[in-house]
Amino acid sequence: MSGPDHSQDQPEAVSRRQFIGWGAAAVAGIMIAPGVTLFDLAHGRPAGEAASGKVRWGMLIDTSQCSAGCNDCVTACNTENHLSGGIRETDSQWIRKMELKDQRGGKTHSLPMMCQHCEHPPCVDVCPTGASFKRADGIVLVDRHICIGCRYCMMACPYKARSFVHEEVTGQNPDVPRGKGCVESCTLCAHRIDRDQKPACVEACAAAGRNAIIFGDLNDPQSEISKRIATYATTQVRADLALNTAVRYQGI
Amino acid sequence: MASIAFREIEGQSRGYYALLGAAGAIMLAGLAAAYYMEHHGHIVTGMTNQIVWGMPHVFAVFLIVAASGVLNVASIASVFGRKFYKPLAPLSGLLAIAMLAGGLMVLMLDLGRADRLIVAMTHYNFKSIFALNVFLYNGFFAVVAVYLWTMMERRMNGYSGAAGLAAFIWRLLLTTGTGSIFGFLVARQAYDSALLAPMFIVMSFSYGLAVYLLVLIAAYRWSERPLADAVLARLKGLLIVFVAAALYFVTVHHLTNLYVAKQLDFEKFILVSGGVYPLLFWVGQVALGSLAPIAILAYPALGRSRAWIVVAALLVVLGAFAQMYVTIIGGQAYPLQLFPGMEVSSSFFDGVVHPYVPSVPEIMLGLGGVAVAAIIVLLAVRLLRFLPESLDSPLVEALEAKAKSEAAA
């Protein structure tokens, strides 16, 4: 039994497919265009455009919403930045969960600790080559290309936020270049922020239903983070150093 | 008066070649260790994300501190006008250059990206004391080289006073820079003190002079040249003062910290409960490295013996390594205090003392730096006129008489 002969239908079929294709493209264009416009209007910025000093990205961590058993922010960070997730003394950990217990009274707290993205970062001060730097929007980063691996920034950081890459790394996220012999730390997911997304840990915390990490623009009085800081008592870790951290904690 | 005749050593003996060969072998082992570390990454060392600076830094900082201090002998001659020290000056400058070269080699080869040396030389953040040190170290080579030239080239002798003064000021700046690497670390309880800069300067006097004494005695013994006891008597007297002064600074540093409530837990760790660190501090740095050499050198029956002077100088060097280890490794081993009054724990080793076991490659790299310094000295004293042909009693007496007559006039 042979199938119907479609050879005669071919030209017509192509033109029909073309029509459907053009139609789909047009519909997609109509649907996406407003989104693209919105993207431009929001904080996302095209490649080549410098970060703006008008914003200062920050986080508020509500420790009352953070639970000792939950490690979702750490897992999300490892997944996003393609870290191994290992916890040997030589493994990179950009964010870690710290368990606190008051020596008097025994009150416990659980909280994530990572780069605090200081306004006056000691790591930037001590870096001999300028590889440690602060972006205009307050994000503290390491330039992978001029880091010589001296680890002076690791000596200088009060938060133990930085890791040194002790061995070859494979399977990198193209957005987050890493490399043996260089120092690295939390980038506040700068690559996501530049696409108008929230840092991976913030999303994961929200997905877990906790919303313990509020991310936003500290310079915008209307942002949720600014409103929260204006309303509740918050603390900076090692406030005695007056580094004016972009990461603040509530409830400790 | 007797003129000072400088002459190259013959350098044909079996002993000379054995020394050169041994230093060469250790240097090659150090370079092999650096290659191994570079190839595999720092995973093959004892260093971690907690102890980020390890054995290479113990060696490198010792060599750099001692390098600036060893120049003191020359400074005493040209800056403070003590004619007695003039014949000792060229060796002092040579050792300064050699030890700095050795120390910098170790520091550089320990970098995560040693291949980016060119980046370190072309990108500067001038707020970083490390970046300033790049200038201080390179400048030191140049200033001391010019100083040596003015001392060793007869036509340039007239400038040696000015060059010596420049070198003296430069070496003070350099050691200030080295001490400030630690002094400027606000985050860590072990450091963060303006006292560290002057303390490192005084330590450099003591480390440098001990090394100078050892090299001087060895060089004159092995080249069979006369060396008067009067030379050693002066140097050993100075060493007593320097070791005591360094101990004074260490005492003041700890006493100050003990007065500050937030430093008490760290002081308890480093002085009492921290395991290997209190042991190295009290036995290595204080007892063997400071009190014992002072006692040996000050006790007349021992202080006159050349063998005991060597023992005392070796003890000072041993104490120096103990002090570097306690300062650099011990300072990092104690956990950072993020939440005072809280017990803390995490997957990143918060709240626990960080262990450190030096690895063989690290130690080999460090020894490689010492070997490089030795090779530079061995070759230089054979090729150029660094060492006086004789430092015998008549020459020394003549120098002393001249110094006295100048003082009287």
A45 pLDDT exceeds 80?
no
Residue of B116, B103, B100 lying closest to B67 (CA atoms): B100
How does pLDDT run across B270-321, given as a tens digit for each residue?
Answer: 999 999 999 999 999 999 999 999 999 999 999 999 999 999 999 999 999 9
| Interface contact B52-A166, CB threshold 8 A | no
CB pairs under 8 A between A and B: 172
CB nearest A181 (choices: B52, B113, B184): B113
Could you tell me the domains of chain B? 6-400 (1.20.1630.10)
Q: How far is CA A134 from the centre of its chain?
A: 15
Mean pLDDT of chain B: 95
CB contact (8 A) between residue B112 and residue A157 = no
Q: Compare all CA atoms of chain A with the CA of B187 and give the residue at the minimum distance.
A: A158
What pLDDT band is residue A37 in, cutting at 50, 70 and 90?
very low
Contacts of B246 (CB under 8 A, 6+ apart): B199, B202, B203, B205, B206, B290
DSSP B270: I
User: What is chain A written as a DSSP string?
Assistant: ------TTTHHHHHHHHHHHHHHHHHHHHHHHHHHHHHHHHSS---TTSPPPTT--EEEEEEGGG--TT--HHHHHHHHHHT-----STTS--SEEEEEEEETTT--EEEEEEE----SS-HHHHH-SSS-EEE-TTS-EEE-TTT-----HHHHH-TT---EE--S---S--TTS---TT-EE---TTHHHHTTT---HHHHHHHHTT---EEEEETT-TTSHHHHHHHHS--B-TTGGG----SEEEE--
User: In DSSP terms, which residues pair with B343 in a beta bridge?
Assistant: A101
How close, in Å, is residue B385 to chain A by CA atoms? 38
Residue with tokens 């008067």: B228
Please state, as a whole number, how many other Cβ atoms lie within 10 Å of the Cβ of residue B300. Answer: 7
* pLDDT tens per residue across span B121-167: 999 999 999 999 999 999 999 999 999 999 999 999 999 999 999 99
Instruction: Compute the CA torsion angle B6, B8, B10, B15 (nearest 10 deg).
Output: 100
* ipTM of this predicted structure: 0.94
Distance of alpha carbon A182 from alpha carbon A178, whole angstroms: 8
Q: Coil, helix or strand for B346? A: strand
What is the predicted pLDDT for the residue at B405? Answer: 80
B70 pLDDT above the threshold of 90? yes
In the Cβ-directed half-sphere of A12, how many Cα atoms lie within 13 Å? Answer: 4
Q: Among A129, A164, A178, pick the best mutation site for testing chain B contact (most B Cβ within 10 A).
A: A129
A contact test, residue of B36, B48, B129, B348 with most A CBs within 10 A: B348
Give how far A80 is from chain B: nearest CA, Å.
19
At which residue do the structure tokens 């139609």 appear? A23
Could you tell me if B354 lies within 8 Å of chain A, comparing CB atoms? yes
Cα–Cα distance for residue pair B288/B282, rounded to 1 Å:
8
Task: Give the residue from B347, B353, B359 with the most A CB atoms within 10 Å of its CB, the best one to mutate.
Answer: B347
Q: Say whether pLDDT at B390 is over 70.
A: yes
Q: What is the pLDDT of residue A41?
A: 42
B339 lies within 8 A of chain A by CB: yes
pLDDT bracket for residue A128 (50, 70, 90): very high
Of B49, B187, B350, the CB nearest to A158: B187
Has residue B176 got a pLDDT over 60?
yes
- Banded model confidence at residue B406, pLDDT cuts 50, 70, 90: confident
| Residues of A with Cβ-Cβ distance to B344 under 8 angstroms | 98-101
Q: Does B113 touch chain A (CB under 8 A)?
A: yes
Q: Which two tokens stand for residue B238?
A: 């100075």
Q: Which helix (H) or strand (E) holds B157?
A: none
- Name residues 71-110 of chain B within 8 A of A (Cβ): none
Three-class SS state of B356? coil
Q: What is the distance, to the nearest Å, from the Cα of residue A186 to the centroid of all Cα atoms in its chain?
A: 7
Q: Cβ contacts (< 8 Å) between A238 and chain B: which residues?
A: 187, 338
Q: Is B112 on the interface with A (CB under 8 A)?
A: yes
